[in-house]
Copies of this chain bind each other. A is one copy, B any other.
Amino acid sequence: MTLSPSSLIPFTTTCVYSGTFIPYYPAMQKTARRSRPAARLPGRPREFDMDTALDRAVRVFRERGYHATSIGDLTAAMRLATGSIYKAFRDKHAVFLAAFERYTALRQQQTRSAAARGANGREQIRNVLLSYVEHSRGIEGRRGCLVVGSAVELSALDPVVGARVSTQLASNESFIAGLIRAGQADGSIPRHVLADDTARLMLCITQGMRVVGKARLPLDAERLVGAAMKLLA
């Protein structure tokens, strides 16, 4: 699969992934929306755990990006044979999208639970920022963020991934905006703070930390967040 040749404007790409995304999964098992225990599907049951396999795919895609990851890299990381991958996913692109979903679901969970540990809006934002620094630092930071990676490597070439990335960023931003407004309601953040502008700026800060962390510059959580909290003054 090749995504298309050069020039960006006019965007004359003959892109395969233009239409609505259909989550394929040939004979998807275990994701049944039925009541538990899930009614057995016909045929031999899948032997590997989908989430475990996707976690491994996530790791490779985070480290190598989309284009530098070969099916061979995926078979090694996911511990599946070529045929098995193509039995479970339409193609490499589908593996990537599934990995992306898995990644964002886990990250969203981590961010929300960091926020939940704060007593008021202000502390919740501080915790979210601290959590971002921790994920952008050291080994974890070097591994990279799949959203940032997709934004940079694929947004302009692949409309499907581009849409997912935008959705994810918008969701992150509005989560922060919500925390700011909550803080204004509970009195921990002054009324004169512009929630939307500040949230967008904080989105830039968090995504920027992932870039800086990937480039191995050291990030100090207390110092960085300490400075950033001025935005809520």
Contact = CB atoms under 8 A, between A and B. Distances in A.
A152 B70 CA distance: 18
Interface stretch (A37-45, A95-103, A153-161): A153-161
B169 A144 contact: no
Contacts of A22: none
A72 B205 CA distance: 37
A77 B6 CA distance: 8
Q: Is the interface of A mostly helix, strand, loop or mixed?
A: helix
Q: How many copies does the complex hold?
A: 2
A194 interface: yes
Contacts of A198: 227
A203 interface: yes
Which range holds the interface residue count of chain A?
35 or more
A156 B144 contact: yes
Given A63-B156, A152-B211, 6 more contacts: A151-B214, A151-B215, A152-B153, A198-B227, A200-B223, A205-B208
Interface of A: 3, 5-9, 60, 63-65, 67-68, 70, 72-73, 76-77, 139, 142-144, 148-149, 151-153, 155-157, 162, 165-166, 169-170, 173, 194, 197-198, 200-201, 203-212, 214-217, 219-220, 223-224, 226-228, 230-231, 233
Q: Which 7 A-B pairs have the closest CB atoms?
A: A208-B208, A204-B208, A67-B67, A207-B208, A207-B211, A197-B223, A151-B215
